[in-house]
Amino acid sequence: MSDIASAAGPATPPTGETATISWSGNPWSMAGLGAINVLLTIITLGIYHFWAKTEVRRRLVSSIRVNSEPIEYTGTGMELFLGFLLIFAIILLPVLVLVVVARLVLGEAGAIVLLPVYGFFIYLWGVAVYRARRYRRSRLRWRGIRGAMTGSSWGYGWGSLWSSLLIGMTWGWITPWRDNYLHRRLLNDTRFGDRPFLYSGQPGPMYGAYALAWVGQLVAFFVILGIGAAVLYPIATPLIDAVTKATGSEGSIDWKSPEFEGQWPLIAGLIAAGYGFLGLYAIAWSLIWNLFYAREYSYFVSETRLEGLRFDLKVSAWSMFWLFFSNTLMSILTLTILSPVAEARVARYFVQRLSSTGSIDFAGIAQSQQKIGRTGEGLAEAFDIEASSYFILSI
């Protein structure tokens, strides 16, 4: 490797190393771990969840190589567990008691306290995203050097809250702007050792893909609706006649009418076909939106710098769709036993498509001086935030 050749000795520290990002290992080697994790989680009434998650992260992260040296995840299950207990005690339990007491004293009207509670939770969601990321960064090491986050989770939570209010108001069109705004806040706070990541993206270049996906979902909807109607209408004609005849003068349908004799297989078939078209739309919808996300992720990465390194991510909507679709299917069919394999496949997918250009003086990067928190991502646990693609993307 080039870095070994240049590292002749400590007297002449290597300057201008390149960074080759690679993946080592087979995602399917996590299958056994998945079975053990599910078993232990059941035996411990769910408590093992935190350790299970930690071990998956350890194995997964150590498969990621930079200049063929692995990244290390140093978080522990106990940190996650204590973090969750802390959040349960200081936030979830008091809120639960508040909601219960309001409900007991005010009855149905007690639901009014839910409004500020929901607002508070949306705010906390953003805070949780930031804090989970900070925890993970502080537990990732490469050549012994930690990652870090230097900003305030409360400020980020606020930015996330107010910008989320604009999503509905703009029919979603704020999304590229908002994603860019939040990603910039996160990435510019991120450090490797004492060096900052720099993100210089603008929302503009993502709007083309967004418009395509936004219009595409409507087009897909009407096309599939049209095809569905054209295919099913002729088949359904006898049934429509039967319904018309069986409809009484008051407009109510007599389902016991002899008109429906022998029609039940047709009814069942039509319902199944209806669901079939709905499923088709769900697939089309997901595929179309991956056009936007593929563009967004690639753009995020292309506008990221670390010292002299620039990055590049080559993902496509189709391959991303297939990855998430097959992963979802795999996790569901195996009752989450294979979800570590699914996570590893996501990690491998992004890592193998990620590359860097330029060079960096690793010897000049000193250890992070940020304090390391004792407990992990309690809030994110509480909200079950699992942004694994994000997690990998922004290492």
DSSP 287: H
- The interface mask with other proteins, positions 335-374, x = CB under 8 A, is ---------------------------xxxxxx-------
Strand runs labelled E in 76-152: 140-142, 145-149
Closest contact distance (angstroms) between CB of 204 and other proteins is 34
Q: What is the DSSP letter of 255?
A: T
Burial of residue 244 (number of CB atoms within 10 Å: 0-12, 13-18, 19+): exposed
Binding flags for other proteins, 150-169, as an x/- string (CB under 8 A): --------------------
Q: In angstroms, rounded to a whole number, what is the distance separating the alpha carbons of residues 254 and 13? A: 87
Contact 64, 21 (CB under 8 A): yes
Give the contact letters, 189-228, x = binds to other proteins (CB under 8 A), - = no: ---xx-----------------------------------
Burial of 68 (0-12, 13-18, 19+ CB in 10 A): exposed
CB of 1 to other proteins, least distance (A): 9
- Give the Cα separation of 132 and 381 in Å (integer): 9
| Position among 20, 22, 35, 77 found at the interface with other proteins (CB under 8 A) | 77
Query: Which of 181/383 has CB closer to other proteins?
Result: 383
Structure tokens given for 200: 């210089």
Pick the binder of other proteins from 16, 26, 106, 112 (CB under 8 A). 106
Q: Which stretch binds other proteins (CB under 8 A): 6-14, 152-160, 163-171, 199-207?
A: 6-14
Q: Is 55 in the site for other proteins (CB under 8 A)?
A: yes
Question: Which lies closer to other proteins via its Cβ, residue 44 or residue 244?
Answer: 44
Residue 381 C-beta-side C-alpha neighbours within 13 Å: 26
CB–CB of 187/301 below 8 Å?
no
Question: Interface residues with other proteins (CB under 8 A)?
Answer: 3-4, 7, 9-11, 13-14, 24, 36, 40, 43-51, 54-55, 58-59, 61-62, 67-70, 72-73, 77-78, 81, 84, 87-88, 92-93, 95-96, 99-101, 103-107, 141-145, 192-193, 362-367, 381-382, 384
